[in-house]
Amino acid sequence: MVLVAAMGRNRAIGVRNRLPWRLASDLRHYRKITLGKPMIMGRKTLLSIGRLLPGRETIVVTRDRGFVFPGAHVAGDLASALALAGARAAAMGADEIIVAGGGEIYAQTICGADALKITLVDLAPDGDAFFPAIDPAVWRESRREAHPASPGDEAPFAFIDYIRHTA
């Protein structure tokens, strides 16, 4: 299980169900690392995207028993979503399950994650959704790739991969 997120220096990941920046380079990176994999996300995250992302299977976690989003799998709790994602990963031949947000889903899954793929945006925007703290006693940075802002990017950023420390 891999948590994938873009966050500001203050760990903000969203404000009013929207990304707090425009970062075209990160959207391309996100597509590359999630394509062909099942993705777990909360209902509000899916609604903020507004559509299913091509080439991925979306599993939505919601307590709303009546929630329907054509083409998405709906799970009433995180345990059901994880079980379904495991089955879908096997069927798709995917080696990872992606957790794609939002803040509550990240907070509930970070303890069971194997890796984090973070885009650290060089901004500290106002936010109402945040990524959990990345504890250096648990997580080790395994790769960092810094990028200046390109056309379509509001700020410089870095792609950072973390792996769980082994005992």
Whether the ω angle into residue 14 lies within 30 degrees of 0, i.e. cis, is no
H helical segments located in 58-147:
78-92, 103-109
What would the two tokens of residue 49 be? Answer: 């995207």
pLDDT band (50, 70, 90) for residue 167: low
pLDDT in tens, 49-88: 999 999 999 999 999 999 999 999 999 999 999 999 999 9
**pTM summary value:** 0.95
Taken in order of first residue, the domains within the chain and their CATH numbers are 2-164 (3.40.430.10)
Can you list the positions of beta strands (E) in the chain? 2-8, 12-14, 38-42, 57-61, 73-75, 98-99, 115-121, 129-130, 139-147, 157-164
Task: Classify residue 158 as exposed, middle or buried by CB count within 10 Å of its CB (0-12, 13-18, 19+).
Answer: middle
